[in-house]
Amino acid sequence: MRFASSLSAPASLERGGNPRMHAMHSPCSAARTLASATVALALLTSCAIGSRSVAKEKLNELPAESSSQTEAQGPITDGTSAVNGMVGIRPGARVTDSFIQQLLEVDSSLTSFIGAPEAYDATIVIALAAEAARTDAPRRIAEQLRSVTEGGTACVSYRRCRNWILKNADADYDGISGQLSFVPSGTVREFQFTKLQFNKSGGIEEAGSLAVNSDEDEVTKAPNLDLGTWAQPDGVLTLGTLLPQVEPNSDRARAALAGVTLAVRQINEEFGTLGNKVVLLPDASGDGTPGSTQAAANTLVDLGADAVIGGTDAAVTEVALPVISGIAGRLFISPVDPAPQPAERHHGLFFRCSVPPTIEGLVLGRLALAEGFVRPALLIANNAESLQLVTPFSTAITEGGGSIAGQAIIDPAASNTQAIADMLAAGPDAVVIIGNSNVATAAVLELLNAEAGARLPILGSAGTMTRDFAQAVGSTR
């Protein structure tokens, strides 16, 4: 795994940071605060710990205007947000105000946009691959997915990429979620992250970005595309969604559905695909249970879906994939489920745009090191997705010369006071929250009520860096 692009140095405290979030028990703090984009690397190199420290990467400050003004307006209107100054990461490139506003026109109830860029891009590349293949046959579309996302003329919109393709030229679609390019196994070559920071209102401000490249030898080779029963083309690209809006992934599912809907709308406002309007089947994803998921998958196949955008987690994908791709030979792209699947379930028709937990944990650990923390403690939600982040996070810290001070597993149905007290007794220099807002809120409130916890800086995984989390934790008053 190698790091490309840039992760910002921490933003200055001019935005009114909460002292208990911003406190830095390291001489590197001043260097990070004062560093310019050019000088940041040199200053932070002296703060590096170990041979593989994040300080080896290029670190840049983003200008303040880069932050989305929509997300920057938080729910705590009197400026006393308890999470003010908390930093964390979100998979995906910087989300612009323009894109957010377009998503809100599709679904005005959205409060989180995680999953929307990846779902939007998945829809666009399916349509571009269909144009490149000159057919809506799923197997032919799958064969073209790589060609329309790498090696050609860079283009950032459906219209421009389609124009290149129709001229028999190679197009390289770089989308909302970043530089999208698939390796033979079906995962993306480069994973984009945005560094986030809560402000005084509990709004989210963007403070930097990072791209992580996945080396070719770290992924499996392409499965055989010549197996299975293939759907017959009819000249109309028909898309379905399988995004059950149930916890803990309801926010991502809703955002992803809005992303697909927006992409189809824009494609059809332009030229459509293959000379026809793209058909988006009504979403009927069910409640995420195995029986409901299998029924939804069968319905999508029966209605003639050429490709399905969906799979909110491994449990949904494992049930749907054998039906959609393994038996029916339809393309399946997941914008939010990062788990790999055995080739015999999909015959090379399964692609993933989302970031694997191993990568998110690694990046979160390197962010902690870049912030100057070498003895973080972990507050971890007791679910599979969160637990998968722990090992890569810990590896990043130890390979950077630090150590994990302690950890506590969050039980949302009980008091975590003693577990948090034991964790704090180990003397961490920061606390990292790994989980989602629904699970982590009560534990964070208990942490902030503890005298030692109230003085420590807090970092968060993607699931906590949301407006809903800031609203749930509330005010310092």
Structure tokens at 447: 């942490």
Residue 138: cis peptide before it, omega within 30 degrees of 0 = no
Residues 6+ apart with CB under 8 A from 155: 161, 164, 171, 172, 173, 174
* 181: nearest Cα among 137, 136, 216, 209: 216
Can you tell me the distance from the alpha carbon of 256 to that of 364, in angstroms, rounded to the nearest whole number?
23
Structure tokens at 162: 């389609």
Kindly tell me the sign of the dihedral angle through the C-alpha atoms of 320, 323, 325, 328: negative
Look at residue 211 and give its three-state secondary structure: strand
Residues 6+ apart with CB under 8 A from 127: 158, 162, 237, 263, 267, 273, 278
Higher pLDDT, 437 or 21: 437
Q: Average pLDDT for residues 89-118, to the nearest whole number?
A: 88
Q: Which of 140-144, 204-208, 299-303 has the lowest mean pLDDT?
A: 204-208
Task: Encode pLDDT of 343-384 as tens digits.
Answer: 555 678 888 888 888 889 999 999 999 999 999 999 998 887
* 465: nearest Cα among 87, 207, 11: 87
pLDDT at position 310 is 92
pLDDT above 90: residue 175: no
Share of the chain above pLDDT 90, in %: 40
Can you tell me the distance from the alpha carbon of 268 to that of 260, in angstroms, rounded to the nearest whole number?
12
**Highest mean pLDDT range out of 3-17, 115-129, 173-187?**
115-129
Task: Encode pLDDT of 179-215 as tens digits.
Answer: 778 877 788 888 888 899 999 999 998 888 877 876 5
pLDDT above 70: residue 26: no
pLDDT above 90: residue 39: no
pLDDT above 60: residue 22: no
Q: Which of 65-74, 290-299, 395-404 has the lowest mean pLDDT?
A: 65-74
pLDDT above 50: residue 53: no
pLDDT above 60: residue 155: yes
Q: Is residue 317 within 8 Å of 288, Cβ to Cβ?
A: no
Can you tell me the distance from the alpha carbon of 472 to that of 161, in angstroms, rounded to the nearest whole number?
42
pLDDT above 50: residue 33: no
The chain-wide mean pLDDT, for the chain, equals 79
